[in-house]
Amino acid sequence: MGEIVIFGGDSHPELVKMICDNLAIHSSKVQMGKFSNGETSVSVGESVREKDVYVIQSGCGHVNDTFMELLILISACKTASASRVTAVMPYFCYSRQPDIPYTNKGAPLISRSNEERPEESDNSTSTGLTTRKPGAESPFEESESSIRSDSGESEDSKQSSSFSSAPNSNDIKKSVSFSRIPVIPDGKEAGSTKADAGELFNAQNAGYKLWVAQAGTLIANLLTTAGADHVITMDLHDPQFQGFFDISVDNLYCKPLAQKHIQFGIPNYKEAVIVSPDAGGAKRATSIADSLKLSFALIHKERRSQLLKGPPGATLSSGGTFSTNPKPLVSHLHSEEMHHSNSASKYVQTTMLVGDVRNKVCIIVDDLVDTSYTITRAAKLLKDQGAAKVYALITHGIFSGDALSRIRQSAIDKLIVSNTVPQHETVAYLGKDKVDVMDVSRIFAEAIRRVHNGESISMLFEHGW
Amino acid sequence: MASNSIKLLAPDVHRSLAELVAKRLGLRLTDADLKRDPTGEVSFSIGESVRDQDIYIIMQIGSGVVNDRVLELLIMINACKTASARRITAVIPNFPYARQDRKDKSRAPITAKLMADMLTTAGCDHVITMDLHASQIQGFFDIPVDNLYAEPSVVRYIKENVNWKEAAIISPDAGGAKRAATLADRLDLNFALIHKERARANEVSRMVLVGDVTNKICIIVDDMADTCGTLGKAAEVLLDHGAKSVIAIVTHGVLSGKAIENINNSKLDKVVCTNTVPFEEKMKSCSKLDVVDVSSVLAESIRRLHNGESISYLFKHYPL
């Protein structure tokens, strides 16, 4: 393997410099720019023939631009005969699942299509029950067609089979009436407000559940296509993401660094409680709690159609009620009965705190904060439950929109965030004493050194650097 | 392919061309939803099943936000692929990064090749484009690429809007000579060429006119107009050589940077672009702009491709 060459993208020049300083080399010359029509131009200033090239570009700033820059730079190095190209992405863009807002309130308002679905309200099938148990006597005893013939099978398979075939309108009608998938009761009554759009969207395409495309595999494949031979990143939102790649991926952990910050930065840390703001991050939080021998608490969010009692020992706190239109969740067969209760029926969002935080220092641990809704709500809940102090420990602080002002107004006493994404603004906005920035450049520098020399990097997972 | 149907998809912005194509085909655009979060990450959902359908994604790529459009396109293609579409065709009239098609200096990226690879990786099965900057780009793909020509539409425009018997066709650079010459042959007109020496990209130093344009209406023909600096200077050269008036017809009116200013200050009578690139807003601020609609060519090629008919008719003829 030839000598090491490091290129830095435009997204995070400061981190590039710090990594290079740690490796005691200079980053090589590369010019990024844009043509007047908005296309990205890249010119590589030094020879890379038979060299071991590392391209550092965090997935921050304007993501699509920085990602294209990275791809073009990798491809340029590859066509310029580099022996190996490694993409170093401290924050890996497009790695998280789209949030709920994408399908809930933010769903598109789409005008109803002109073609009417088969008339389905006032006929005999409306006696059908959505709660029919498998094996129970079919209410369609007298009616013909596919459903009848399938009656030996379980209900679920029946639904799907009648969906997939649906040879005539009669069958469609029935499959719709059996579906638990949201259906709008009637075209005219269907909510035409924006808030209903998502549900309307679903309902229009009865049987088609709205799903959001996952870009993960695509992004992985694009990197491979551009010519990356190796990827180094940190705290991937999904550990499974590694499996999307056909090339080797080193997922570094911020955990050792985070532990150090807890041990040295938080007074009397042995009394602290590690809190995971959602169930998804529980594993990450428990591993920190375990290695520091701290106690652990979990915040669990639940959406039920009515207020339920939490499990014994759990502290319940109502996270505010909000009304949604329940119509779509009700099969149209029941629309008439449900119409009366429509206005009264509400969803209740329940936030449960599992664990004791009274008079304790709480450390909320999360891998990624974008809108900051989750952690600010979590902080409020913790303070409500008597927490003495609330720290937030975050690997990737993207802080888009007014996330920062939300954090400033929130109950979070101190933010500890790594510099995988530039944090100048955060520090400037929140003030130096409210923000602690963890420096990940040493970990990345050491990973690059070890990868270049073909040494093991697993030591970095546990002990940091 | 006969039993499945065409589905047309377009992003939420710059749908004008897609809408024209859909209207022409008598279809509606499939409900789809693109969401961008504040950092620009895109998520995409299709509002109906596309299983076993013949998908056409119509993407107008204008100036300024090329990378956003490219990622959107790739994600849309990939979404359709994972949703079991039978065939996905990307309709990209203005192919992005088409000018980055060669290693013109050491270690320069061949981004057009990267684009081709990325489209294939995302799951694209077919590409329809128009007036590629270099038709060799078709060779970058491992999938079929139909490179349509705007020429029949342009011929029609010239015949309808210009006193074309007194016109001459001008190529603003040596690279476009072939394109201009075919058009000149087609209309049986004189042909002239402007030779220019480029100091740097988007900057022109000296221009030499080859051919006679005295008392002619000069029609400058090019595949792309970016900042329009070249066009403006070419117009001056032509008028200096006795041309009666000068108009420019370009396929892709990217019109970036100071383009509008350059056109307004230039001696060009008119700048005519096809609607491969969205420029409706720019038309408001510049009275010299005019548009040639190519949606019928795209629509017809989509119809033919779907039915497995030959497309080569469209290379020479304007669809009725």
The C-alpha of A146 sits at a distance from chain B's nearest C-alpha, in angstroms, of 22
Which of residues A273 and B43 earns the better pLDDT score?
Answer: A273
Residue of chain B with shortest Cα separation from A68: B67
Averaged pLDDT for residues A56-60: 92
Pick the closest to residue B24 from B308, B220, B317, B298 (CA basis): B298
pLDDT at A121 over 70: no
Three-class secondary structure of residue A350 per DSSP: strand
With cut-offs at 50, 70 and 90, classify the pLDDT of residue B204: low
Nearest CB to A79 within list B45, B75, B103:
B103
pLDDT at A13 over 90: yes
Specify the pairing of strand A347-354 against strand A295-304: antiparallel
- Answer yes or no: do A72 and B121 touch at CB < 8 A: no
Do residues A85 and A74 lie in contact, with contact meaning Cβ atoms separated by under 8 Å? yes
pLDDT at A343 over 90: no
Q: What is the pLDDT at residue A303?
A: 64
pLDDT at B9 over 90: yes
Rounded Cα distance between A373 and A333, Å, is 37
Rounded Cα distance between B226 and B228, Å, is 5
Total Cβ atoms within 10 A of residue B311: 17
With cut-offs at 50, 70 and 90, classify the pLDDT of residue A196: very low
Rounded Cα distance between B195 and B215, Å, is 20
With cut-offs at 50, 70 and 90, classify the pLDDT of residue A345: very low
Tokens 């769903």 belong to A107
pLDDT at A74 over 50: yes
- Answer yes or no: do B202 and A76 touch at CB < 8 A: no
Averaged pLDDT for residues B172-188: 90
pLDDT at A158 over 90: no
Averaged pLDDT for residues A22-48: 91
Quick check: do A4-97+214-253+444-452+455-463 and A255-438 share a fold? yes
Domains of chain B: 6-149+295-316 (3.40.50.2020), 151-292 (3.40.50.2020)
Among A163, A194, A218, A404, pick the best mutation site for testing chain B contact (most B Cβ within 10 A): A218
Please report residues of B whose CB lies closer than 8 A to that of A91: none
Q: What is the pLDDT at residue A105?
A: 35
> What ipTM is given for this predicted complex?
0.88
Which CATH architecture does the domain made up of A255-438 adopt?
3-Layer(aba) Sandwich (3.40)
Q: What is the pLDDT at residue A187?
A: 39
- Answer yes or no: do A215 and B75 touch at CB < 8 A: yes
- Answer yes or no: do B118 and A35 touch at CB < 8 A: no
Taking CB atoms and an 8 Å cut-off, how many pairs form between chains A and B? 171
Residue of chain A with shortest Cα separation from B78: A218
Sign of CA dihedral A456, A436, A351, B42: negative
Total Cβ atoms within 10 A of residue A453: 10
Averaged pLDDT for residues A322-340: 37
With cut-offs at 50, 70 and 90, classify the pLDDT of residue A76: very high
Three-class secondary structure of residue A344 per DSSP: coil
Q: What is the pLDDT at residue A419?
A: 94
Q: What is the pLDDT at residue A396?
A: 93
- Answer yes or no: do B67 and A214 touch at CB < 8 A: no
Q: What is the pLDDT at residue B196?
A: 75
In this structure, of A136-145, B161-170, B258-267, the range with the lowest mean pLDDT score is A136-145
Which of residues A314 and B192 earns the better pLDDT score?
Answer: B192
**With an 8 Å Cβ cutoff, is A65 touching chain B?**
yes
Q: What is the pLDDT at residue A175?
A: 38
**DSSP β-bridge partners for residue B88:** B55
Q: What is the pLDDT at residue A347?
A: 59
Averaged pLDDT for residues B174-183: 89
Q: What is the pLDDT at residue B17?
A: 92
Among B34, B43, B65, pick the best mutation site for testing chain A contact (most A Cβ within 10 A): B43
CA A171 → CA A146, A311, B49, B67, distances in Å? 7, 43, 18, 46
Nearest CB to B78 within list A38, A215, A224:
A215
- Answer yes or no: do A65 and B31 touch at CB < 8 A: no
Q: What is the pLDDT at residue B125?
A: 96
- Find the helix packing angle between B66-82 and B111-122, rounded to 10°: 30
pLDDT at A179 over 80: no
Rounded Cα distance between A42 and A57, Å, is 14
Q: What is the pLDDT at residue B53?
A: 92
Nearest CB to A38 within list B82, B108, B256:
B256
Q: What is the pLDDT at residue A166?
A: 39
End-to-end CA distance of chain A: 25
**With an 8 Å Cβ cutoff, is A80 touching chain B?**
yes
Total Cβ atoms within 10 A of residue B238: 26
* DSSP conformational letter for A245: -
Q: What is the pLDDT at residue A60?
A: 86
Three-class secondary structure of residue A349 per DSSP: strand
CA A411 → CA A381, A408, A434, B255, distances in Å? 9, 8, 12, 50
Averaged pLDDT for residues A380-385: 92
Nearest CB to A398 within list B39, B100, B109:
B39
Q: Letter for the amino acid at B187?
A: L
**pLDDT, averaged across chain B:** 90
Q: What is the pLDDT at residue A153?
A: 41
Which CATH architecture does the domain made up of A4-97+214-253+444-452+455-463 adopt?
3-Layer(aba) Sandwich (3.40)
With cut-offs at 50, 70 and 90, classify the pLDDT of residue A97: low
All residues at 6 or more sequence positions from A290 whose CB lies less than 8 Å from its CB, including other chains? none
In this structure, of A23-37, A175-189, A417-431, B285-299, the range with the lowest mean pLDDT score is A175-189
Rounded Cα distance between A268 and A16, Å, is 35
- Answer yes or no: do B254 and A221 touch at CB < 8 A: no
Please report residues of B whose CB lies closer than 8 A to that of A218: 74-75, 78, 121-122
With cut-offs at 50, 70 and 90, classify the pLDDT of residue B199: low
Domain ranges, ordered by start, for chain A:
4-97+214-253+444-452+455-463, 102-204, 255-438
